[in-house]
Amino acid sequence: YRILIQISPTSYEIADPKRPTENLGKYHAPTLKPFIGPMDSLEVPIVPIHRRGCPRKHKPVQNQ
């Protein structure tokens, strides 16, 4: 991920490297991990960033 702006000393707005102008959201510094290595070696993030909190509720599938 690419950091767009630093909101506070511990919060950052980040973007996807493939779409650098699209804001993915505001994230706290401990959730971000530094990447060390050549930028062209990775196509997708190793560990995707997940939002905190409970997962969304899904409607049950009705069997016919």
Query: Would the pTM count as exceeding 0.85?
Result: no
* Side-chain-facing half-sphere of 6: CA atoms under 13 Å: 4
What is the C-alpha separation between 46 and 22, in angstroms, rounded? Answer: 20
Neighbour count for residue 61 (Cβ, 10 Å):
5
Q: Sign of the C-alpha dihedral, residues 47, 23, 26, 38?
A: positive
pLDDT tens digits in sequence order for the chain, 64 residues long: 788 888 888 888 888 777 778 888 888 887 777 766 665 555 555 566 666 677 777 777 777 6
